[in-house]
Chain A
Amino acid sequence: MGPQHPSTHGVLRVILKLDGEKVLGTDCIIGYLHRGVEKIAENRTYAQFNPYVDRMDYVAAVSNGLGYCLAVEKLLNVEAPPRAQAVRVILTELNRIASHLLWLGTHALDIGAITPVFYCLREREEALKIFENYCGARLTTHAFRIGGLQYETYDGFEKEVLAFCDMFLPKVDEYEELLTNNRIWVGRLQNVGILSADECKEFGVTGPVLRAAGVKWDLRKAQPYSGYEKYEFDIPTRENGDTYDRYIVRMQEMRQSVRIMRQAVGAIPEGPILGKVGKVIKPPVGEAYVSIEAPKGELGYYVVSDGSTQPYRVRVRPPSFVNLQALDRMVRGGLVADVVAVIGTLDIVLGEVDR
């Protein structure tokens, strides 16, 4: 299966061992999009590398940027000013919605429901417009800078975000009306690709997949960053850890993201947007691992500084890569057609798997 298969969401090749329709085993061939991002990091300054991280999980570029900026800020021992933190939260949550929408649309398309993708992309467009208005780019946004933000919010930013929130919540209900109780949808997803909580931990699987298995764990709550502790929101979980539960969890996460955005946009503090980092970023010798809750799971950056202006080593801990490893466990014993459903539900982005 693959590498050019529409349901692999990029270039993933899966060698399936079959007995008729039954899957006996899989072997994932990845690396088609490998660009050596970690090597590039060692040859750029800290600031120069910032835009590269957007090219990993390109549907959630803002999250990538946030993780990297936080890691370097940790090494520098500075924190972004409160105003920057609030704007970061808003844009990151907006990006989570955009990422989940793309997942929902394409996942439904894989299962055979054609309509949702049009709806999802329609709403995602509204989110991307806000990015475009804010920083000029829609996907690879490079929205944040080490130490805070480069751009002030534009006139009407708050209004547009609120308008998006108002517009978006009823749309989630609309998607759910199409899918949640749809017999075909339920039939294709329920009890497919089950991954229990223990298996998730064994495989290091994080994000919605872990929460659908019943583990109430979200880095935004467990180890809050960028001021997430100030906002009220729930961590949606489910019990069975099947494809259907992962669908439900992500749908509820979109609602929670709206909740966070509403709180954040109502209380953006005044003040500077860039902390004291200096023009030349030169962290002292040392190392730090900082991770955030990206739409796909735990996205970590392990950065080693040798005291120069370029990172000595940047290791990206990509959620998609680690989650994809569990594919074999999830599809073994199931049917070929379910492989498509499970790849969809893992919500991988090959740019991040391969880096």
Chain B
Amino acid sequence: MADEQKPGGSEAPGPQGSTPPKPPAPAADTAKAAPPKPAAGHAAPPKPPATMAASPWDSDLARDLKERFGDSIRETSTYLGQNFVVVKPDAAIAVLEHLKLEADFDYLVDITAVDWPKRAERFDLVYIVYSFARNERVRVKTMIAESYRPETAVGVHLTANWLEREVFDMFGIEFAGHPDLRRILLPEEWQGYPLRKDYSILQQDQRWVQENLGIESGQ
């Protein structure tokens, strides 16, 4: 497939999968990939790069961000034609505000997180913004440690209110300064954060289920 165009620039600081080692992937792969693809065996290690094969994102906006925020911008890259910026956690809100006020990125599409439990900075916190004027989308990503409390984005985009509540609900990331940080989809007394990788798919808050639903288990 088309991951051959591994450009020279940016495999070093690969934000995504650089640190999480992936021992299970090749194992599962040998079992499954053998029958359909007899030619490309697994003797030679031709393709799968362990990090996202992103290339540097060269544009006025990227340069502007670097100039303005300096060291806080860890990376400006593009992958599959989609641009993203990796910023230091304490600069995320300032970058969002700058994008909104100076570059017309006035629509916060989504906030979400990705859990990388083996990494020191456990979570990727991802903001997706869009500009109606430019018809352009940018992802702003930060990597935060489990104990880190990122600043809320509600002051910049009102949309962030529920989106951050959902991230809190599912990942347990607490947003500092959020006006109403409660669980949103799960019951308020629920224990645990389901979208963390160490939360098994069969896991549940047994006590809550027994007390509130009057049944032994939800399974």
Q: Is the interface of A mostly helix, strand, loop or mixed?
A: mixed
Least distance between A318 CB and chain B CB atoms (Å): 9
Is residue B216 within 8 Å, beta carbon to beta carbon, of the partner chain? no
The contact string, 1 if C-beta is below 8 Å from chain B, for chain A 302-331, is 101011110011010100011001000000
Give bound CA distance, A156 to B191, whole Å.
54
Query: With A304-B114, A321-B162 known to touch, is A286 a contact of B128 (CB < 8 Å)?
Result: no
State whether B185 touches A354 (Cβ < 8 A): yes
On whether the beta carbons of B28 and A34 are closer than 8 Å, the reply is: no
With A77-B3, A77-B80, A203-B159 already in contact, the answer to whether A308 and B185 are too (CB < 8 A) is: no
* B48 contacts the other chain (CB 8 A): yes
Partner of B36, one of A30, A280, A302, A312: A280
- Asked if residues B201 and A307 are in contact (CB atoms below 8 Å), the reply is no
Query: Given the interface contacts A204-B157, A280-B32, does A306 sit within 8 Å of B162 by beta carbon?
Result: no
The verdict on A215 contacting chain B, using a C-beta distance below 8 Å, is: yes
Given contacts A201-B107, A204-B109, A282-B33, contact A309 B135 (CB under 8 A): no
Is the CB–CB distance between A204 and B107 below 8 Å? yes
Contact status A312-B114, CB under 8 Å: yes
Q: Are B52 and A285 in contact (CB under 8 A)?
A: yes
Tell me if A307 and B22 are in contact (CB < 8 A). Answer: yes
- B195 contacts which chain A residues (CB < 8 A)? 38-39
- A279 at the binding interface (Cβ < 8 Å): yes
Within 8 A of B (CB), among A161-206: 201-204
A30 & B80 in contact (Cβ 8 Å cutoff): no
Contact with A along B123-137 (1 / 0, CB 8 A): 000101000100101
A74 to B1: give the CA distance in the assembly, Å: 12
Q: Contacting A31 at CB < 8 Å: which of B50, B107, B185?
A: B185
Interface residues of B in 1-56 (CB under 8 A from A): 1-3, 16-17, 20, 22, 24-25, 28-29, 32-33, 35-37, 47-54
Q: List 14 A-B contacts (CB under 8 A).
A: A30-B185, A31-B187, A38-B195, A39-B195, A43-B201, A77-B80, A202-B157, A204-B159, A222-B135, A285-B17, A286-B54, A287-B16, A300-B110, A354-B185
Sort A-B residue pairs by CB-CB distance and give the 3 closest, nearest first: A204-B159, A31-B185, A77-B2
By a beta-carbon cutoff of 8 Å, the part of chain B in contact with chain A is: 1-3, 16-17, 20, 22, 24-25, 28-29, 32-33, 35-37, 47-54, 79-80, 82, 106-110, 112, 114-115, 126, 128, 132, 135, 137, 139, 157-159, 161-163, 166, 170, 183-187, 194-195, 197, 199, 201
